[in-house]
Structure 1
Amino acid sequence: MLMKKIFTLIVLSFISFATMAQWTMQSTAFATAARGIKYISVVDSNTVWATAYDGANTANNIQEFTKTTNGGTTWTPYVIAGYSAYGISMISAVDNNNAWIPAYNATSGGGVILRTSDGGTTWNPQTTATFTAPNGFPNVAHFWNVDTGFCMGDPNDGYFELYTTVNGGTNWTRVPSVNIPAPVAGEYGVTGYYSVVGSTIWFSTNKSHIYKSDDYGHTWTLLTVPIATGKQFAIKFRSLNDGIIRMNESPYSAYITHDGGTTWNLISFFGNWYYNDYCYVPGTTSTWVSVGADATTPFMGISYSTDDGLNWTNFASMDTTQHLAVAFADHKSGWSGAFNNYGSDGIFKHYGSTFVLDTCASFYSDFSQSSDTVYLTVSPLVNFTDESIPAATSWAWDFGDGGTATTANPSHTFSSTGTYIVQLIAHHGSCVDTTTSTVEVLYASAIEDNQLNVNVYPNPASDVLYVEGLPIGEYSVEWIATDGRVIASTRCNESTLLNTENIGNGLYILRISNDKINFRKAVVIRHN
């Protein structure tokens, strides 16, 4: 139930010019003045959807959006009928006709996913994503195409309300709690604060956490970030490994990761990195654009960085307008949302050669696998499917046990127990990218977690961890990092105390197993 920070329109005493270098003013065409752009969903260089808010009275929830299908030459505004009590969290569009909006009831709680399939003229509720009041609150919806999507809401019934769909939202399936790390007390998501690259999703919370899924939202892991608990932070990834997070309040600290979010390093940046919004510029190596709307300090304008946020350069003459949201389609075309103060404005379009195209920047390798866990006594065969974007032209697979393959979609039979790191090196012409996953091979189909009554405490743990309730026997104990590496191992019996002094801070999977038992538990290590 946390809303992204938004700014009030402040009438300025200077005039915004229609054209500033490579930014051109366009009209959002809203009938009412002071409509600010809250969220932009770019389909391509022609089709863009953008939601609005009331910049004169930010407490007044409106249900308005605008859309262009010709690169912004003309924008058409719309009002969503029948949901006057609702606020709009964001919008996700896949083409000119199909878009989804997560909307929350600002009075009684609860929410709904709305879909249009006729370009925004009519919107229909998708009732199988229930978001039941009073705790239901949808923050995010994202679709990869007209069929495949996910949505995220605040904890309801004790765990985050996450859904997936394979038919455009006609049927949403809630992700079971066993597939989602439990939230801490008072933990929530933030409207529109998420990022997607391929099948991987990240969303941020107000408790120093990122939830991450690499399978279109079906299973989730928990990552911890070096931002103080209770603070909101935006999250944007440009690849499966590289992303930036930034606090949306003072001191506006920013951090970068190069391992998918496992570790983060502070960005000590130079220049004006505006804090209202920022985005990656697709098709570039490491270019980002930021926008600012603080007319009081003042700190408003548009800037860009070509080195992953280290150095920022202002676009000239853009500091006379409050800029609210930003998104790019490619290295040439992008939009910065503003307020429609003058009747012919409301949004700015960038088109030009400011940014250098890197033909390999948008290529990333990815794959899916038929199973994460197989058994030698049942069927140790795993099928792998290349999902690289754009489509790869050659493949080099390493299955972690000495086996290799060079086809797009190989199958591999494992012959020994263990945890194997599977690597794909994919090529698209001269472009190359590498990604990995893990396969767990057990001897026999064992008693699984949900059939056991095992108590693991405390969690988070510091120097010791107690394990009670295992069936009598000897067990192998493994600490598995979020990237699949086994970082420590030992042995224990059915009731034991584990020494965790030498386990570093972070999230791990504790696996305790033998030929009959396979117990796994997410454990956070937090040394004081």
Structure 2
Amino acid sequence: MGSAAYFTCPIRLHTAQYPKLRRGPTNTTFQFRGLAPVSSKVVWVSGTKGSVLRTRDGGTTWSNVSPPLAPENSTDFEFRDIQAWDEKRAVILSIGAGNLSRIYLTHDGGNSWKKTFVNDNEAAFYDCMSFENKRHGLALSDPVDGNFRLIETWDGGSTWSVVDNKGIPAALTGEFGFAASGTCIEAAAGRWYIASGGVDPGRIYSSDNGHQWKVTNSSIAGGAAAGVFSVRFRDAKHGIAVGGDYEKPNGTINNAAWSRDGGRSWHKAESFLAGYRSGASWVPGRGAMAVAVGTTGSDVTFDGGKNWQSFDNGTFDAVECVSKNVCWASGSKGRVGRLQWT
């Protein structure tokens, strides 16, 4: 979709570390909550009005590879989550009540898309999905008949089946997931995690196989528009959770937590995020470093989520780090950025 004229600004995050935040337009006004970087060069984003874009040159140019939805209803679809493995293969999730929740798959870089799931339960509303490898994935719906609903694929998104909900603890009244950054469900180190809100405090579910689950209070404050928006693990033990209240985006209390026992228990951060944050990502190869993004800015932790410090006041919805030197972020008004350590 044209060229992206990036500019660079140095930001001091920590002693002797000087990353550069590169922002640039995609020549669109879509809001990209779906983000799937494959490398420093190949990145997929998805969002409002049925949009899917891909770059193969590190964001210099973007191609519109959106599925060919009917013109009269393409604006109804919001692809809030995307998973990609290379420049050819990607899976996208559209959110919404009833049959607006659906999944599409491409094997040819978006030249063609196959519709592989359409929700047929009017009570279901799918929020996010995650894959533990190229074949096995789960997608999460808000509770149906008192339990969160999951669908599962064992063939990379080509087919999906509903998971028996007997192994999922009952949801509390008003509990749900947030379709904000594609990270309300997480697969990491052979385990699965679900983040929830709508109740106080927000809760985090964990499972060894995606079928039998346990649930724990997160210590993150919850409410009608508040709770845990993103849960991420860097290994089998160390996890972070971020969130807040999207109706009070400048709130700085009880919006982050950390775990060191695989999610069995969660502890409040000692210093919190500088506002509501919808997405987070560990930085590979940098130990206990992670970043979080939201509508009022971005933050970094160097100690596994115990303490956070703000480093930027720009608006982003999702963030994913692909290496120790490169993280990608996406958000409103066609905004995509790259945080790079030199």
Query: What TM-score do you get using the length of structure 1 for normalisation?
Result: 0.53
What residue is the counterpart of 2:16 in the other structure? none
Q: Distance in 2 between matches of 1:188 and 1:303?
A: 25
CA deviation string 1:131-190 (max 9, x = no partner): 323112111222334422221112234432212222223332322122222223333222
Give the one of 201, 205, 218 matched to 1:225. 218
What residue is the counterpart of 1:476 in the other structure? none
Q: Distance in 2 between matches of 1:144 and 1:194?
A: 11
Report the secondary structure of 1:268's partner residue.
Answer: coil
RMSD: 2.7
Q: Does 1:205 align with 2:196?
A: yes
For the 8 Å contact 2:274–2:309, the answer to whether it is kept is yes
Residue 228 of structure 1 deviates from its aligned partner by 4.3
Q: Does 1:87 align with 2:78?
A: yes
Structure 2 unaligned regions, length at least 5: 11-19, 246-250
Q: Does 1:160 align with 2:148?
A: yes
Identify if the C-alpha distance between structure 1 residues 245 and 135 changes in structure 2 by more than 3 Å, giving closer, same or farther: same
Residue 20 of structure 1 deviates from its aligned partner by 1.0
Give the one of 56, 64, 68 matched to 2:55. 68
Q: Distance in 2 between matches of 1:112 and 1:329?
A: 27
Q: Does 1:36 align with 2:26?
A: no
Residue 221 of structure 1 deviates from its aligned partner by 2.3
Report the secondary structure of 1:308's partner residue.
Answer: coil
What residue is the counterpart of 1:123 in the other structure? 113
CA deviation string 1:401-455 (max 9, x = no partner): xxxxxxxxxxxxxxxxxxxxxxxxxxxxxxxxxxxxxxxxxxxxxxxxxxxxxxx
Which letter maps to 2:24?
Q
Identify if the C-alpha distance between structure 1 residues 185 and 338 changes in structure 2 by more than 3 Å, giving closer, same or farther: closer
Identify if the C-alpha distance between structure 1 residues 314 and 247 changes in structure 2 by more than 3 Å, giving closer, same or farther: closer
Structure 1's consecutive aligned runs of 4 or more residues displaced over 6 angstroms after TM superposition are none
CA deviation string 1:70-101 (max 9, x = no partner): 33233223333226233223111122122112
Q: Does 1:180 align with 2:168?
A: yes
What residue is the counterpart of 2:281 in the other structure? 279
Residue 246 of structure 1 deviates from its aligned partner by 2.5
Which letter maps to 2:141?
G
Identify if the C-alpha distance between structure 1 residues 111 and 277 changes in structure 2 by more than 3 Å, giving closer, same or farther: closer
Q: Distance in 1 between matches of 2:102 and 2:93?
A: 6
Q: How many residues align?
A: 310
Identify if the C-alpha distance between structure 1 residues 331 and 140 changes in structure 2 by more than 3 Å, giving closer, same or farther: same
Report the secondary structure of 1:178's partner residue.
Answer: helix
What residue is the counterpart of 1:112 in the other structure? 102
What residue is the counterpart of 2:13 in the other structure? none
For the 8 Å contact 1:197–1:237, the answer to whether it is kept is yes
What residue is the counterpart of 1:454 in the other structure? none
Residue 273 of structure 1 deviates from its aligned partner by 6.6
Give the one of 301, 305, 325 matched to 2:301. 305
Q: Distance in 1 between matches of 2:308 and 2:171?
A: 36
CA deviation string 1:212-268 (max 9, x = no partner): 1222x2332222322345332122222211112223223352111111111111112
Structure 1 unaligned regions, length at least 5: 1-15, 54-61, 295-299, 354-528
Q: Does 1:254 align with 2:250?
A: no
What residue is the counterpart of 1:351 in the other structure? 340
Residue 287 of structure 1 deviates from its aligned partner by 0.6
For the 8 Å contact 2:83–2:92, the answer to whether it is kept is yes
Identity of aligned residues (%): 26
Q: Distance in 2 between matches of 1:228 and 1:20?
A: 34
What residue is the counterpart of 2:22 in the other structure? 24
Question: Within 5 A, what are the aligned runs for 1:290-369?
Answer: 290-294=292-296, 300=297, 302-315=298-311, 318-319=312-313, 321-340=314-333, 346-353=335-342
For the 8 Å contact 1:147–1:165, the answer to whether it is kept is yes
What residue is the counterpart of 1:441 in the other structure? none
Q: Distance in 1 between matches of 2:239 and 2:295?
A: 23
Report the secondary structure of 1:286's partner residue.
Answer: coil
Query: What TM-score do you get using the length of structure 2 for normalisation?
Result: 0.80
Identify if the C-alpha distance between structure 1 residues 151 and 262 changes in structure 2 by more than 3 Å, giving closer, same or farther: same
Give the one of 123, 138, 142 matched to 2:130. 142
Identify if the C-alpha distance between structure 1 residues 24 and 109 changes in structure 2 by more than 3 Å, giving closer, same or farther: same
For the 8 Å contact 2:257–2:306, the answer to whether it is kept is no
Report the secondary structure of 1:90's partner residue.
Answer: strand
Residue 64 of structure 1 deviates from its aligned partner by 0.8
Residue 327 of structure 1 deviates from its aligned partner by 1.6
Structure of greater relative contact order (alpha carbons < 8 Å, 6+ residues apart): 2
